[in-house]
Amino acid sequence: MREYVMGECVIVERRHLQALVDALGRHEFTVIAPTVRSKAVTYQEITSIDELPVGMIDEQDAGVYRLKQGKREAVFDYTVGADSWKSYLHPPALKLFSATRDQEDGFTLHEGEEETPRYAFFGVRACELNAIAIQDKVFLGGPHIDVHYKRRREETFIVGVNCGRATGTCFCVSMNTGPRVGPGYDLTLTEVIENGSHVFVTEIGSERGAAILAEIPHTPADENRTEQAAAIVHQTAKNMGRRMETEGIKELLYENLEHPRWDDVASRCLACANCTMVCPTCFCTTVEDVTDLTGEHVDRWQKWDSCFTMDFSYIHGGSVRKSNKARYRQWMTHKLATWIDQFDSSGCVGCGRCISWCPVGIDITIEVDAIRKTPKRSHVDDAEGETS
Partner 1 sequence: MNAQTLEPYLKKHPFFKGLSSDYLAILVGCVKNVSVEALQPIFQTGEPADHFFLIRQGAVAIETSSLEAGAVTIQTLGNGDVLGWSWLFEPYRWNFDARALMQTRLFSLDAKCLRDKCDRDPAFGYDLVKRFSRVMVDRLQATRLQLLDIYALPTGE
Partner 2 sequence: MEAETLSTSQVTRENGDSMRPRRYRIVRSHKETHDTFTMELEAVDGPANGTFNPGQFNMLYAFGAGESAISISGDPAQEERLMHTTRVVGTVTRALGTLAQGDVLGVRGPFGSAWPVSENAGKDIVFVAGGIGMAPLRPAVLQVLANRTKFGGVTLLYGSRTPGDILYRRELKRWRGRLNDVHVTVDRADEKWSGDVGVVTTLFNRIIFDPENVVACVCGPEIMMRFVVMELQRRGVSDSSIYISMERNMKCAIGFCGHCQFGPTFICKDGPVFRLDKIRAWFNQKEI
> Please, which residue, 318 or 385, has the CB nearer to partner 1?
318
**Phi and psi torsions of 140, nearest 5°:** -120, -10
Supply the DSSP string of 309-353, one letter for each residue: SGGGGEETTEES--SHHHHHHHHHHIIIIIHHHHHSS-S-----H
> Please, which residue, 254 or 314, has the CB nearer to partner 1?
314
- Helices 324-333, 260-268: axis angle to 10 degrees equals 110
Binds partner 2 by CB under 8 A, chosen from 320, 360, 374, 376: 320
> Please, which residue, 235 or 313, has the CB nearer to partner 1?
313
106 binding partner 2? (CB under 8 A) = yes
Helices (H), 204-294: 207-213, 223-238, 249-254, 260-268, 274-278
> Please, which residue, 51 or 155, has the CB nearer to partner 2?
155
Binds 312: which of partner 2, partner 1, none (CB < 5-8 Å by kind): partner 2
Question: 182: Cβ–Cβ under 8 A, 6 or more apart, which residues?
Answer: 126, 129, 130, 133
Contact 12, 22 (CB under 8 A): no
Contact 128, 349 (CB under 8 A): yes
Residue 198's DSSP bridge partners are 193
Question: 121: Cβ–Cβ under 8 A, 6 or more apart, which residues?
Answer: 32, 33, 43, 85, 88, 156, 157, 158, 159
Q: Which of residues 227-256 bind partner 2 (CB under 8 A)?
A: 254
Q: Which of residues 298-317 bind partner 1 (CB under 8 A)?
A: 316-317
Select from 23-31, 59-67, 75-83, 278-286 the region that touches partner 2 (CB under 8 A).
278-286
Contact 329, 338 (CB under 8 A): no
Binds partner 2 by CB under 8 A, chosen from 314, 359, 360, 374: 314
Q: How far is the CB of 302 from partner 2 (least distance, A)?
A: 8
Binds 318: which of partner 1, partner 2, none (CB < 5-8 Å by kind): partner 1
C-alpha distances in angstroms, 344 versus 55, 82, 145, 332, 341? 39, 27, 18, 17, 6
Closest CA to 367 of 337, 344, 338: 337
Q: Which of residues 316-335 bind partner 1 (CB under 8 A)?
A: 316-318
Select from 3-11, 17-25, 317-325, 354-362 the region that touches partner 2 (CB under 8 A).
317-325
> Please, which residue, 87 or 319, has the CB nearer to partner 1?
319
Binds 138: which of partner 1, partner 2, none (CB < 5-8 Å by kind): partner 2
The residues of the shown chain that bind partner 1, judged by CB under 8 A, are 316-318
The residues of the shown chain that bind partner 2, judged by CB under 8 A, are 96-97, 99, 101-102, 105-107, 109, 138-139, 142-147, 254, 257, 283-289, 291, 295, 298, 300, 302, 305, 307, 312-317, 320-323, 325-326, 330, 334, 337-338, 341-342
